[in-house]
């Protein structure tokens, strides 16, 4: 399914708006988001954000997709763009999934992080 993560191949998260768009929170997107919201990374709480913040979060997550498609996306465009989503639940699901992909399983050890044998 196009809007689901295929964990066996990659971590692309697609949000259905005016067209299928990749929602990605890489370094640049997160840096932009923190600057726009005035929050520290530890203060990001997806369970307690208002509608204006959702617009900012999605905007930042769509910047790389817009650039790849030669579009100039503005935060002022987000209200109309988000109205094209199939449902509000879809927006929240995709946002949450994209953040989970970006941060991974923070409590899970990845690779061999043990100290070398002495």
- Each residue of 83-94: pLDDT tens digit? 999 999 999 999
| Within a domain: 91 | yes
- Each residue of 63-74: pLDDT tens digit? 999 999 999 999
| Within a domain: 33 | yes
Distance CA 80, CA 17 (A): 10
Distance CA 6, CA 39 (A): 31
Residues 6+ apart with CB under 8 A from 58: 15, 23, 78, 81, 82, 91, 95
| Within a domain: 115 | no
| Within a domain: 85 | yes
| Within a domain: 30 | yes
Banded model confidence at residue 10, pLDDT cuts 50, 70, 90:
low
| Within a domain: 10 | no
């Amino acid at each position: 399914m196009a809007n689901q993560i295929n964990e066996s191949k990659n971590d692309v998260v697609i949000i259905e708006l005016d067209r299928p768009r990749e929602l990605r929170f890489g370094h640049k997107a997160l840096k932009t988001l923190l600057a726009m919201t005035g929050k520290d990374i530890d203060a990001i709480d997806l369970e307690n954000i208002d509608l204006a913040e959702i617009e900012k979060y999605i905007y930042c997550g769509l910047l790389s997709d817009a650039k790849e498609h030669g579009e100039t996306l503005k935060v002022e465009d987000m209200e109309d763009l988000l109205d094209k989503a199939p449902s509000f639940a879809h927006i929240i699901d995709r946002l949450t999934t994209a953040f989970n992909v970006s941060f991974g399983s923070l409590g899970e050890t990845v690779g061999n992080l043990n100290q070398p044998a002495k």
